[in-house]
Every structure is written in C-alpha cells, then in structure tokens.
Amino acid sequence: MFDYHHFPVIAVMILFLGAFLVEIFGAKNKAVRNTIAIVVAGISTVCIYALIKPVFFDGEVISYWMGNWAPVSGYAIGIGYEVDALNLFFALLTVTTFFLSGIYSIRYMEKDEHLGHYYTLFLMLSGGVLGLVLTGDVFNMFVMIEIMTFAAVALTAFRNRSFGALEGAFKYLALGSIGSSMTLAGIAVLYMSCHTLNMAQLSSILGSQPLNPTTVFAFALMFAGLAVKAFIVPFHTPAADAYMVAPTSVSMMFSGMVNKAGVYGMIRLCYTIFHAMDQSSLQILLVAFGCVTMFVGVTMALAQHDFKRLLAFHSISQIGYVITAIGLSTAVGLSAGLFHAMNHTLFKGLLFLTAGAVLKATGTTNLDKLGGLSKKMPLTTICFLVGAFSISGLPPFNGFASKWMVYQAAYAKAVTTGNFFYAVVTIVAVVVSVMTLASFIKVTQACFFGQCPDSLKDTKEVPFSMRLPMWILSVACLASGVFYNFVYEKVLYPAMVATLNTVKYIDSMMGAGYSAAAGVQNHLVDAPRLSVWDPISWLLLFVICLVAICLVVVLGDKTRGRLSDAEGEPQDGKYATFFGGEHALHSHVGGSDLFWGFKKDFKGYFNVVQGAHDGNVNTYASWVVIATAVIAIFMVIFVK
C-alpha cells in the first residue's frame, strides 16, 4: 500500500511539520499539544522501523532524490537521501530515543510553563538529528547540524529560571557555533575541490585518487566540527553543563541521539567519504582521541556531586569507547563501536530517566542532599541498578557484551599489528570500566541506599507514564545483552558491512557501475563474522543457578519463620542500624565521602584536570581551536 522508499523523507518532514502544528494549535491546549507531539513522533518511529525489513534483512539501499532531481550525466544536482544499514542503525537509535523521551515528557514537564515552545523545539531537535543521519548530502547535513544545535541550545536554556541554565546554553551556543562553522568551512573547501556536495559522488571522486592537502584540510575541519557534536575530549566541555541544566527528557535525547549523530557523521566521513580508515595514522588519531576521551570523562565523573552532571561525564566517557572501537578499523572493532553506541543509547537513556525521576520526586539531583530513596522509589531503584550494571559492563547486561567486543578488537589489533599502543588501549579500556563501576556505586550509595534525610520523608514514586519508558529500556538492556548473537547477526553485521561497502553506497545513489567507472574499490573488504563464544548457554545457566538458589534461601527461610524484618513489628532496637552504642543520629555516608584512598593517590591528577575545567568559555573555545589546529597539522602531514 505504501511505498517504503518515501518513508525516510516522511519520517523527517513530519517532525518539522509537527513542530509548526504544535506552535500554531497547541500553545494553549495541553491535550492538543501532547497528542500532536506523540502522534508525530509515533508516525516517524513507525516509518523508520518499517525500513528494518528491506534494509537490514534484504540488504537494500534506499536512495531518494528530493523533487526527483536525479543526477545528470554523472553529476548529482539535487538533495538526495540515502539509507543503508548504517544510516538506518543510527536512525533507529534516534527514533527510539525521541519517542520514549516524548512519552516521558508528558508528565515530567507538566509543571513547566510555555510547553508549546518545548514541544516545538523537541520536534525540531528530533527532526534535525533524524535528517542528519538519513541525508546523503553534506550541505544538507550541515543544515541539519545547525537545526539540531540551535534546538539543543534553546532546550538547554528552557528552564531558564533555574541556576546555570543560561550559562550552560551559552557555552553550548558558543562552542556549537564554532563546531558548525568548522564543518561549514570544511564543506566549502571540499566543494571547491570536488564541485559536488553529494556524499556518494564525493566518495567516488575522493576514492579514485590519493587525497591532496586541500581535501585533507577539509577532512580535518569537518572531523573537528563533528567531534564538537560528538563531545570528544577536548571538545566535550559544553556537554557537562548542557546535560545537567536541560530538562532530563532533553538530556536523554542529547546523550541518546545528539552525540550519536556526531559519531555517525565521523564514521561516514572517515570510512565512506574519505576512504581513509585503512591508514594507520588516522586509526591511531581516532583511537588516541577515544582513549583520552574515555579516561578524562570517567575521572571527571568520579569527582562530580550532581547526578546529572556525573551522567554527562559518563556519556563523554562511553563515547570514548565508541570512537576507540571504530578507530580500530577492523570488522570486530567496527561492530563493537556500533554495538556500544546502541547500548549507550539504551543504558544512558535509562539512567537519565531515573535521574529525572529523582529530580521530579525530590526536586534535586545533588548527591550530597539525597539518600535512602530505595524505600520510597523501589521501581526506580531497580531500573537504576539495571542501568548502572549495564554501563559498568557486568554480565549478563548489554554493556558487557559490547565492552567484551571492544577489548577483543583492541587486543586483536595489538597482537596482529604488533603495536604496543593498542595493548595499552585495551588496559585503559578495562581500567575505565572499573572506574565507571566505582562512580555508579557512588551514586547508588549516595542517592538510593543509606539513610533518608528528613526533608525527603514524603517522596513518592513517579507516575506510570514516566516509569513505562524506564521499564522498556531496562528490558532492552537485558535482552540485548543476553541475546547478543541475535543483535549481532541481524543488526550489527549488516550495519558493519554497509559501512565497509562503499562501492554499493555509491552505486545505489549514482547508478550501477558508477564507482567502477571512477575506479573506486572497497579498501576494507574483509568482514569475517565474529564467532568466539556463545553467551546464551551459560547465561541461561547463570539464571538457573540464580533462580534455584533464590528459591532455596528466600522461600526456605520464610517458611521456617527465621526471617524477620521491621514490617509490622514494634520499632525496637532490634531492627535499628548498628552504631556501636552511640545514639543513632543521621549519619549518611554520602557520595563525596567515598573513594578517599583513590582520590588521595590521584590528587595531583584530579587537581590538574579539575582546574583545567574552569568553566570559562574562552578557555574552552581555545581548546577547540588548538585541538582543531593539531588535528589539521597531524592530518596534513600523515594522512595521504
């Protein structure tokens, strides 16, 4: 009935249409506003999910020329949308994120004013990101980056009466604009030397000859511009403030899709357009950036006192894993990077939603003021623990599967190339994973367990429409970890092959035989399937053990009447916390009290890194400019 070739464009356009409809009809009426936003986001989601069968299962690449401006004598003139498995992979992450965020927003944002503007910006941001990951045209990509950045800035400042909102938005605006300008400059230089803006045609022109300094310079500028969007260290500075002060439903979108859009852009740029990922210099550049990003991100996270700010630094750190993995430029590494990107969307979305639930229920995300919420919000606590275990990579959750692939890929690269650098990368990745665990233990202790301060005695669990997205994401975290072979076969493998198969990308857009005529070949043709161990059998075993032992211990004890807790019992000293004979005062061990030994040993490092993050936009802007200059010099010298 419907021709699915139109779905990508419909999915993007309906979001922009919805943005205007909300502003026109929904400014006053709450029901109209919510209905438009959810329906529009739902249609877009359905359109993208409907593409799974043709693109992932049948291996088709959907190309779509706007207004039917097909190429004339081998030159692309119009704007084209091209959806292969890689685009669709990121589009799926995007639609999942904004759809769940939309459901969550209904109750989460109910107390705010000017919600018409909120949903307008919300849909603009969604449309911008979705357009960015689906487009096949670099200038269109720039336009979408701009829409995305400005919607994101406005949403950051949405609660502009709360502390720091305007400051966060200003930082994001300043640095985001620098990033966008660099992308634009890169595109201009590229257009000057290749005379086209279509990605497929650019790829065919750049792939048929060695890169010259001009195109490499354009590459460096676009690389840096997209790095700002992906929040890679040292371009990461706006992320921390923006994620913290934005409404949590928006923070979830930032970490679930906005920085993924940057990652997508970098993959497209390095693998498809510039055919540069088989050069060891670029691999080392990406892996080095990834490593620094994950380490700085996690150590900064360890020092935070705010739940959302801590999560923001973890977003940066996890993107470091993704960049490291895709920089390895092997089949396993690329799948690992994509898998971790997907898992990051799931578990970080979940964690932001639990942070939002805490904020909604208690009015603060300051870890030093929270405590003991697990008795008040048991369901949120369980969701948080699922998210925390996933991000820390404990089996059987999904973070373990993707981190396992990252280590596997990094060490395989190390032993096959004999390069000690990659062995160090593997070690850093493992250590960062442990530090991630530490920092989530800190949140667990400071926020959910321990003693409840008197000011939080009346805390209530959040409403159902806020819990539903959390449950969906929790189940997704567990399912994609346990059935990781299924995810790998059906989703990651096609996406990984599509990334490496540049010839098919060019030919689907420009007509069959176009790449052969230009002399483009796939540099990285080798894409073996990963088959090392089958986690399902032993994870099921784990579950069996667990169930058996739980039954024996918990039920067995209950029937014998040897288990007693404070429910319904008189409050006597038997159930009180042990204080060594002292009078039981409120003595909660908060987040800042933890990990003393570690912090003391790393005092020098923490002083330097925290001192460097001085909150001054000038400093941050200079980091961006210096890092761009370094990238440009490195690339012009080493990338051929």
Question: If residue 600 lies in a helix (H) or strand (E), which one and from where to where?
Answer: helix 596-601
Exactly one of 66, 550, 625, 626 binds other proteins (CB under 8 A); that residue is 550
Q: How far is the CB of 131 from other proteins (least distance, A)?
A: 39
Sign of CA pseudo-dihedral 301, 591, 602, 337: negative
Amino acid, res. 417 = T
Nearest to 359 by CA among 98, 97, 108: 108
- Which is closer to other proteins, CB of 434 or CB of 625? 434
Q: How far is the CB of 396 from other proteins (least distance, A)?
A: 10
Q: How far is the CB of 468 from other proteins (least distance, A)?
A: 21
* DSSP secondary structure string for all residues of 230-244: HT-TTS-HHHHHHHH
- Which is closer to other proteins, CB of 67 or CB of 418? 418
Stretch that binds other proteins, among 19-27, 107-115, 281-289, 537-545 (CB under 8 A): 537-545
Q: How far is the CB of 336 from other proteins (least distance, A)?
A: 12
Q: How far is the CB of 548 from other proteins (least distance, A)?
A: 8
Exactly one of 24, 188, 475, 546 binds other proteins (CB under 8 A); that residue is 546
- Which is closer to other proteins, CB of 227 or CB of 370? 370
Q: How far is the CB of 415 from other proteins (least distance, A)?
A: 6
Q: How far is the CB of 93 from other proteins (least distance, A)?
A: 25
Size of the site for other proteins (CB under 8 A): 77
Site string for other proteins, 430-469 (x = CB under 8 A): xx--xx-xx--x--xx--xxxxx-----------------
Q: What b/e string do you get for 75-102 counting C-beta neighbours within 10 Å, with b at 16 or more? A: ebeebbbbbbbbbbbbbbbbbbbbbbbb
Q: Which residues lie below 8 Å from residue 68, measured CB to CB, with a gap of 6+?
A: 78
- Which is closer to other proteins, CB of 245 or CB of 447? 447
What six digits make up the tokens of 381?
A: 């606590």
Exactly one of 372, 387, 469, 481 binds other proteins (CB under 8 A); that residue is 372
Cα separation, 241 vs 166, in Å, equals 10
What six digits make up the tokens of 501?
A: 């198969």
Q: Which residues lie below 8 Å from residue 167, measured CB to CB, with a gap of 6+?
A: 241, 245
- Contacts with other proteins in 377-396 (CB under 8 A)? 378, 381, 385, 389, 392-395
- Contacts with other proteins in 395-424 (CB under 8 A)? 395, 400, 404, 407-408, 411-412, 415-416, 418, 420, 423
Q: How far is the CB of 535 from other proteins (least distance, A)?
A: 8
Site string for other proteins, 601-640 (x = CB under 8 A): x---------------------------------------
- Which is closer to other proteins, CB of 154 or CB of 435? 435
What six digits make up the tokens of 599?
A: 């912090």
Q: How far is the CB of 440 from other proteins (least distance, A)?
A: 10
Pair type for strands 80-83 and 62-65: antiparallel
The CB density around residue 166, as the number of other CB atoms within 10 Å, is 16
Q: How far is the CB of 524 from other proteins (least distance, A)?
A: 18
Residues 258 and 148 sit within 8 Å (Cβ to Cβ): yes
Cα separation, 372 vs 455, in Å, equals 11
What six digits make up the tokens of 324?
A: 């490291």
- Which is closer to other proteins, CB of 118 or CB of 404? 404
Place of tokens 């720039």: 142
Stretch that binds other proteins, among 128-136, 198-206, 284-292, 551-559 (CB under 8 A): 551-559
Q: How far is the CB of 599 from other proteins (least distance, A)?
A: 9
Cα 629 to the center of its chain, rounded Å? 26
- Which is closer to other proteins, CB of 537 or CB of 618? 537
- Which is closer to other proteins, CB of 489 or CB of 534? 534
Cα separation, 175 vs 313, in Å, equals 17
- Which is closer to other proteins, CB of 512 or CB of 550? 550
**What separation in angstroms does the CA of 459 have from each of 249, 378, 587?**
20, 11, 19
- Which is closer to other proteins, CB of 486 or CB of 598? 598
Cα separation, 15 vs 124, in Å, equals 7
**What separation in angstroms does the CA of 361 have from each of 31, 185, 249, 455, 588?**
23, 46, 15, 12, 20
Residues 402 and 343 sit within 8 Å (Cβ to Cβ): yes
Q: How far is the CB of 380 from other proteins (least distance, A)?
A: 12
Site string for other proteins, 315-354 (x = CB under 8 A): ----------------------------------------
Place of tokens 């439903």: 249
Site string for other proteins, 560-589 (x = CB under 8 A): --xxxxx----x--xxxxxxx------xxx
The number of residues making up the chain comes to: 640
3-state secondary structure of 114: coil
Q: How far is the CB of 581 from other proteins (least distance, A)?
A: 11
Q: How far is the CB of 553 from other proteins (least distance, A)?
A: 5
Q: How far is the CB of 288 from other proteins (least distance, A)?
A: 19
**What separation in angstroms does the CA of 48 have from each of 119, 128, 237?**
21, 15, 32
Instruction: Please tell me what DSSP assigns to residue 44.
Output: H
Exactly one of 516, 554, 555, 625 binds other proteins (CB under 8 A); that residue is 554
Q: Assess 542 for contact with other proteins (CB under 8 A).
A: yes
Stretch that binds other proteins, among 282-290, 318-326, 518-526, 548-556 (CB under 8 A): 548-556
Stretch that binds other proteins, among 30-38, 125-133, 143-151, 547-555 (CB under 8 A): 547-555
Residues 280 and 640 sit within 8 Å (Cβ to Cβ): no
Cα 593 to the center of its chain, rounded Å? 29
- Contacts with other proteins in 88-147 (CB under 8 A)? none
Nearest to 459 by CA among 561, 544, 575, 379: 379
Amino acid, res. 69 = W
Cα separation, 218 vs 501, in Å, equals 23
- Which is closer to other proteins, CB of 103 or CB of 406? 406
Exactly one of 188, 475, 545, 629 binds other proteins (CB under 8 A); that residue is 545
